[in-house]
């Protein structure tokens, strides 16, 4: 623990140095999402002796700095967290305790939801739709869980339709969703995995799109956005070549209220906007397969 | 600080053994056994051993050594059996013509191959690797030249980085079904032009709680397209309607065989199902269970869509735990093999023991008790001693060697496919040696 703190201090106390370090190797750019959050790094453990120091005093929401996570998690490794054996065994009552309609199913999935910004925006936009965030990093999931609970307490009756699970969506999508169950899937600012060797770790890939097409209903929409040009092209070409997806027209994109949220709702999107970065989005619809 | 036990995971990998495999020609013309890198074929019609002709070395030296590493999958073409495919850890998929036993094509895979399948018309061969990718080979293009080695498979689908344990075409060839160690069975539509990929997923069969080890089909009048049965490391055999992914019945064969879950946390008491073999009419299913000396026969009632244990044929006189099963559709023989690629403390490099069960069919459900499945003596099996000489490599195997082989077999598949749980200390120890951490501390 001591070593970790020491290294962390050294690493984050000088943001300029950090920037230089990351930029010194072009093409080896890494994404350190977890590291840069929380500016008061000197007071890491917090000296206030509140009842629950991880919740902010003013807003009642959890504070990110108590949910620090490693920026990356290996999607290829064997996972030992619990996964429902089949979609029918997914425990809706614990995730959506106030939704009484048993036959209602999850229709939106935010894959790699991160700190949950999109879910929270969507929750009020589509109050009658059940949605779930899926995140591989344990601590980040904990944060989103606390955030949703805090929002539910702070706004009675609201935010009952969102929840989060810690899972590896690249492996376990079929364990959560039946065929054609989903209406929308979101892949916002995924890990770019620049090295060719690591392309198979990308969350959008020709093979994984087969599984997403399975989970999506015909007419369901897949939303992707990134600030990395290379990854943007990759995601677009994967979707373009896949026989079960077709692009939305310009008019449809303009009419879709969700498209505007892609670059504004998430923490990562806000960061990109702050830095004046460009974003690359690809929005495609699940269509019926070629008739044999 | 140094813990001597920390690296036993790596030691396990070194002593990893490949279980022996057996395949029987659908018309009972020949039988093949693979142990380690050895492929042994016996012609049952003419009663003689087959010399394999590899396209690569025609000078005829050591013709059984056609593979350079452990063979992990062998199979005859489903309908007429004119094709035979063998593949394994040497990353080669060899396609043989069974009339001449010449290798008509060698396909080079990028990774170790774990499963193969042949479409019933023989036009396409599929194989799967340990990274979860399924490839297709168009056999029409290769029938001309002999032994071309620069063939490559075309990837059609992928399980996300999970070893594919079994690969099957559905009986009507409309679907390709792949099972993996992440408990999944995926049913994909096999398209008209498979070279473009199999993107449309028909269903997932989900219900197993451990790796899925084997697949088989049963047919009936109500289900002419067939039902799927699967065996798994969770010690169950399950019956599925694979077109919709519905679980129809579960048979806890481990419990039925008397292996009670007394020591739940260790998981040692749940023997994995290693292989399944169904009769042509689908009413009878043979189950090989790790650590069960013998074979379990399940009766499958297709119209009621149930599986139930019929009887256990125990083979106890010398320890025999089958690692692989095979049967031709015409004769009522169930061929079984127990064997391991390498055995510690034994000079027998590739040990295999072949046994045959006769009466592997169930003509009348009413006569359950008089069901006459019985184990044949070595002198009574088809092909007699000659076949054993060829397939086992030797006629008689000492009892001690057999016992140690049986011990090794008990855990072989489980060790291969189980998700390993490392204790926290071990994980911390590994993390300390991680490269990025080392650089930072400097």
- CATH number of the domain located at residue range(s) B211-258+269-375 in this protein: 2.130.10.10
The pair of structure tokens assigned to B173 is: 């060839």
Beta bridge pairs of residue A225: A188, A281
| Domains B34-206 and B211-258+269-375 fall in the same CATH topology | yes
Candidate ranges B198-207, B214-223, B376-385; pick with highest mean pLDDT: B198-207
For residues B81 and A289, the model is more confident at: B81
Q: CB count, 10 Å around CB of A43? A: 10
Mean pLDDT calculated for residue range B177-196: 90
pLDDT at A176: 95
Strand spans (E) along chain A: 106-111, 130-135, 162-166, 182-188, 216-226, 245-247, 280-286
For residues B111 and A33, the model is more confident at: B111
Q: Structure pTM?
A: 0.83
Q: What pLDDT digit, counting tens, does each position of A7-32 carry? A: 344 334 444 443 443 433 344 444 54
Q: If residue B429 lies in a helix (H) or strand (E), which one and from where to where?
A: helix B424-432
Q: Which of A86, A173, A218, A239 to mutate to test the interface with B (most CBs of B within 10 A)?
A: A86
Q: How far is CA B93 from CA B19, B87, B90, B175, in A?
A: 18, 4, 9, 22
Q: What pLDDT digit, counting tens, does each position of B262-299 carry? A: 444 444 567 889 999 988 777 888 999 888 888 888 88
Across the interface, whether the CB atoms of B160 and A214 are under 8 A apart is answered no
Q: Which of A11, A75, A86 is the closest to B206 by Cβ?
A: A86
Burial of B316 (0-12, 13-18, 19+ CB in 10 A): exposed
**Is pLDDT at A192 greater than 50 in this prediction?**
yes
Q: Is B285 helix (H, G, I), strand (E, B) or coil?
A: strand
Strand spans (E) along A65-190: 106-111, 130-135, 162-166, 182-188
Q: What pLDDT digit, counting tens, does each position of B237-270 carry? A: 999 999 999 999 999 888 877 765 544 444 456 7
**Is pLDDT at A3 greater than 50 in this prediction?**
no
A82-86, A122-126, A265-269: range with lowest mean pLDDT? A265-269
Mean pLDDT calculated for residue range A262-290: 87
Q: What pLDDT digit, counting tens, does each position of B34-76 carry? A: 988 888 888 888 888 888 775 554 444 444 468 888 899 999 9
Architecture per CATH, B34-206: 7 Propeller (2.130)
The residue count for chain B: 442
Cβ–Cβ < 8 Å for B236, B196: no
pLDDT at B8: 43
Residues 6+ apart with CB under 8 A from B428: none
Whether A22 maps to a domain, the answer reads no
Query: If you count residue pairs, one on A and one on B, with CB atoms under 8 Å apart, how many are there?
Result: 68
**What is the distance between the alpha carbons of residues B396 and B188, in angstroms, rounded to a whole number?**
45
The counts of H helices and E strands in chain B are 6, 29
Beta bridge pairs of residue B298: B285, B309
pLDDT at B421: 74
The residue count for chain A: 292
Portion of chain A with pLDDT greater than 90, in percent: 50
Burial B363-373 (b: 16+ CB within 10 A, else e): eeeeeeeebeb
Strand pairing category for B71-76 and B21-24: unpaired
pLDDT at A4: 40
**Is pLDDT at B338 greater than 80 in this prediction?**
yes
Q: Which of A78, A178, A243 to mutate to test the interface with B (most CBs of B within 10 A)?
A: A78
pLDDT at B364: 46
Question: What is chain A's mean pLDDT, rounded?
Answer: 80
How close, in Å, is residue B161 to chain A by CA atoms? 6
Whether A54 maps to a domain, the answer reads no
| Chain B residues touching residue A210 (CB < 8 angstroms) | 157, 188, 198-201
Across the interface, whether the CB atoms of B199 and A3 are under 8 A apart is answered no
pLDDT at B176: 94
For residues A240 and B427, the model is more confident at: A240
Whether A242 maps to a domain, the answer reads yes
pLDDT at B371: 53
In chain B, where are the structural domains located?
A: 34-206, 211-258+269-375
Q: Torsion over CA of A91, A96, A100 and A102, rounded to 10 degrees?
A: -30
**Scanning every residue of chain A, which has its alpha carbon at the shortest distance from the alpha carbon of B181?**
A78
The residues of A annotated with a catalytic role in the active site are 191
- CATH no. for residue A164? 3.40.50.150
Q: The domain containing residue A223 runs over which residues? A: 103-286
| Chain B residues touching residue A85 (CB < 8 angstroms) | 183, 206-209
Whether A204 maps to a domain, the answer reads yes
Question: What is chain B's mean pLDDT, rounded?
Answer: 79
Structurally, how many domains does chain A consist of?
Answer: 1
Give B352-384 as a DSSP string: EEEEEEE----S-GGG-TT---EEPPGGGSTTH
Nearest Cα to A187, choosing from A165, A212, A164?
A212
B83-92, B125-134, B416-425: range with lowest mean pLDDT? B416-425
**What is the distance between the alpha carbons of residues B55 and B304, in angstroms, rounded to a whole number?**
49
Q: Is B359 left (phi over 0), alpha (psi -120 to 50) or beta?
A: left
How close, in Å, is residue B329 to chain A by CA atoms? 32
Q: Per-residue confidence at A39, pLDDT binned at 50, 70, 90? A: very low
* DSSP secondary structure letter of residue A77: S
Mean pLDDT calculated for residue range A188-215: 91
**What is the distance between the alpha carbons of residues A256 and A83, in angstroms, rounded to a whole number?**
33
Q: What angle do CA B204, B205, B207 make, to 5 degrees?
A: 130
Q: Tell whether residue A149 is among the known ligand binding residues.
A: no
Q: Which of A7, A179, A207 is the closest to B157 by Cβ?
A: A207
Whether A31 maps to a domain, the answer reads no
Burial B332-357 (b: 16+ CB within 10 A, else e): bbbbbbbbbbbbeeeebebbbbbbbb
* DSSP secondary structure letter of residue A42: G
Q: Per-residue confidence at B145, pLDDT binned at 50, 70, 90? A: low
pLDDT at B424: 79
pLDDT at B363: 57
Across the interface, whether the CB atoms of B419 and A78 are under 8 A apart is answered yes
Q: Tell whether residue A188 is among the known ligand binding residues.
A: yes
The counts of H helices and E strands in chain A are 11, 7
Nearest Cα to A182, choosing from A196, A167, A169, A200?
A169
pLDDT at A71: 73
Q: Per-residue confidence at A286, pLDDT binned at 50, 70, 90? A: very high
Strand pairing category for B133-138 and B148-152: unpaired
Interaxial angle between packed helices A15-23 and A2-12, expressed in degrees from 0 to 180 and rounded to the nearest 10: 80
pLDDT at A66: 75
**What is the distance between the alpha carbons of residues B97 and B137, in angstroms, rounded to a whole number?**
15
Q: Per-residue confidence at B171, pLDDT binned at 50, 70, 90? A: confident
Q: Tell whether residue A146 is among the known ligand binding residues.
A: no
| Chain B residues touching residue A211 (CB < 8 angstroms) | 160, 201
**Is pLDDT at B223 greater than 90 in this prediction?**
no
How close, in Å, is residue B419 to chain A by CA atoms? 7
Whether A197 maps to a domain, the answer reads yes
pLDDT at A18: 39
Cβ–Cβ < 8 Å for B109, B128: no
How close, in Å, is residue B170 to chain A by CA atoms? 17
Q: Which of B130, B131, B154, B160 to mutate to test the interface with A (most CBs of A within 10 A)?
A: B160
pLDDT at A150: 92
**What is the distance between the alpha carbons of residues A140 and A37, in angstroms, rounded to a whole number?**
12
Q: Is A111 helix (H, G, I), strand (E, B) or coil?
A: strand
End-to-end Cα spacing for chain B: 20
Q: How far is CA B285 from CA B18, B61, B325, B330, B335, in A?
A: 24, 40, 11, 16, 13
Q: How far is CA B340 from CA A248, B49, B86, in A?
A: 56, 21, 17
* DSSP secondary structure letter of residue A62: B
Q: Residues of A near B (CB-CB distance < 8 A)?
A: 3, 7, 11, 75-76, 78, 80, 85-87, 170-172, 174-175, 179, 200, 206-211, 213-214, 242-244, 289, 292
Using the Cβ of B267 and the Cβ atoms of chain A, whether some distance falls under 8 Å is answered with no
pLDDT at B365: 45
End-to-end Cα spacing for chain A: 60
**Is pLDDT at A84 greater than 60 in this prediction?**
yes
**What is the distance between the alpha carbons of residues B253 and B261, in angstroms, rounded to a whole number?**
12
Mean pLDDT calculated for residue range B115-135: 91
pLDDT at B146: 52
Interaxial angle between packed helices A169-176 and A206-215, expressed in degrees from 0 to 180 and rounded to the nearest 10: 20
Q: What pLDDT digit, counting tens, does each position of A140-167 carry? A: 999 999 999 999 999 888 899 999 999 9
The pair of structure tokens assigned to B151 is: 């063939």
pLDDT at B321: 86
Q: For chain B, how big is the Rg over CA atoms in Å?
A: 21
Across the interface, whether the CB atoms of B206 and A85 are under 8 A apart is answered yes
Nearest Cα to B71, choosing from B101, B100, B92, B95?
B92
Whether A181 maps to a domain, the answer reads yes
Nearest Cα to A169, choosing from A177, A179, A161?
A177
Portion of chain B with pLDDT greater than 70, in percent: 81
**What is the distance between the alpha carbons of residues A170 and B155, in angstroms, rounded to a whole number?**
18
């Amino acid at each position: 623990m001591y070593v970790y703190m020491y290294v962390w201090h050294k690493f984050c106390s000088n943001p300029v140095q950090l920037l230089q370090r990351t930029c010194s190797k072009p093409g080896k750019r890494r994404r350190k999402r977890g590291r840069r959050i929380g500016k008061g790094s000197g007071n890491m453990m917090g000296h206030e002796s509140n009842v629950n120091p991880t919740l902010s005093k003013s807003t009642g929401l959890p504070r990110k700095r108590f949910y620090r996570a490693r920026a990356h998690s290996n999607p290829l490794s064997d996972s030992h967290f619990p996964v429902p054996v089949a979609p029918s065994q997914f425990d809706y009552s614990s995730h959506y305790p106030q939704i009484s309609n048993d036959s209602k199913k999850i229709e939106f999935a935010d894959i790699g939801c991160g700190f949950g910004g999109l879910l929270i925006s969507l929750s009020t936009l589509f109050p009658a739709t059940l949605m779930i965030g899926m995140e591989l990093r344990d601590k980040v999931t904990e944060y989103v869980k606390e955030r949703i609970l805090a929002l539910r307490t702070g706004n009675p009756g609201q935010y009952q339709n969102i929840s989060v699970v810690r899972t590896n969506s690249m492996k376990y999508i079929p364990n959560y969703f039946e065929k054609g169950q989903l209406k929308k899937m979101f892949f916002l600012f995924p890990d770019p995995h620049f090295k060719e060797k690591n392309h198979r770790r990308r969350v959008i890939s020709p093979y994984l799109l087969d599984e997403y097409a399975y989970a999506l209903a015909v007419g369901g929409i897949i939303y992707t956005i990134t600030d990395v040009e290379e990854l943007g092209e990759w995601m677009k070409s994967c979707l373009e070549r896949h026989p079960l997806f077709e692009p939305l027209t310009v008019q449809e994109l303009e009419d879709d209220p969700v498209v505007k949220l892609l670059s504004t709702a998430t923490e990562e999107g806000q960061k990109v906007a702050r830095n004046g970065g460009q974003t690359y989005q690809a929005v495609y619809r699940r269509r019926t397969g070629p008739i044999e | 600080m140094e813990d001597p036990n920390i690296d036993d995971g790596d030691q396990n990998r070194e002593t990893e053994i490949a279980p022996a495999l057996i395949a029987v020609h659908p018309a009972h013309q020949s039988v093949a056994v693979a142990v380690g890198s050895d492929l042994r074929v016996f012609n049952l019609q003419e009663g003689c051993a087959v010399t394999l002709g590899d396209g690569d070395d025609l000078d005829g030296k050591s013709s059984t050594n056609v593979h350079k590493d452990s063979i992990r999958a062998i199979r005859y073409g489903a309908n007429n059996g004119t094709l035979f495919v063998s593949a394994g850890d040497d990353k080669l998929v060899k396609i043989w013509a069974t009339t001449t036993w010449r290798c008509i094509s060698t396909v080079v895979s990028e990774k170790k191959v774990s499963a193969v399948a042949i479409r019933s018309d023989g036009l396409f061969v599929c194989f799967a690797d340990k990274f979860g990718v399924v490839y297709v080979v168009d056999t029409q293009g290769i029938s001309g030249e002999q032994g071309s080695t620069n063939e490559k498979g075309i990837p059609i689908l992928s399980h996300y980085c999970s070893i594919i344990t079994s690969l099957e075409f559905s009986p009507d060839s409309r679907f390709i079904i792949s099972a993996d160690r992440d408990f999944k069975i995926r049913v994909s539509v096999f398209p008209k032009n498979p070279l473009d990929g199999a993107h449309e997923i028909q269903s997932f069969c989900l219900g197993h709680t451990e790796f899925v080890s084997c697949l088989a089909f049963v047919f009936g009048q109500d289900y002419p397209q067939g039902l799927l049965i699967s065996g798994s490391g969770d010690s169950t055999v399950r019956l599925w309607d694979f077109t919709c992914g519905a679980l129809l019945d579960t048979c806890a064969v481990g419990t039925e065989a008397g292996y009670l879950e007394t020591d739940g946390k260790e998981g040692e008491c749940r023997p994995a199902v290693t292989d399944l073999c169904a009769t042509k009419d689908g009413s009878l299913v043979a189950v090989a269970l790790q650590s069960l000396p013998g074979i379990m026969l399940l009766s499958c009632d297709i119209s009621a869509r149930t599986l139930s244990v019929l009887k256990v044929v125990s083979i106890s006189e010398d320890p025999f735990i089958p690692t692989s099963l095979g049967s031709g559709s015409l004769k009522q023989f169930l061929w079984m093999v127990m064997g391991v690629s390498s055995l510690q403390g034994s000079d027998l490099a590739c040990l295999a023991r072949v046994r045959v069960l006769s009466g592997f069919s169930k003509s009348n459900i009413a006569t359950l008790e008089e069901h006459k499945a019985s184990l044949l003596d070595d002198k009574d099996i088809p092909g007699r001693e000659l076949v054993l000489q060829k397939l086992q490599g030797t006629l008689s195997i000492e009892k001690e060697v057999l016992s140690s082989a049986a011990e090794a077999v008990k855990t072989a598949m489980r060790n291969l496919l189980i998700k390993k749980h490392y204790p926290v200390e071990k994980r911390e120890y590994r993390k300390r040696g991680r490269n990025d951490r080392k650089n930072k501390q400097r």
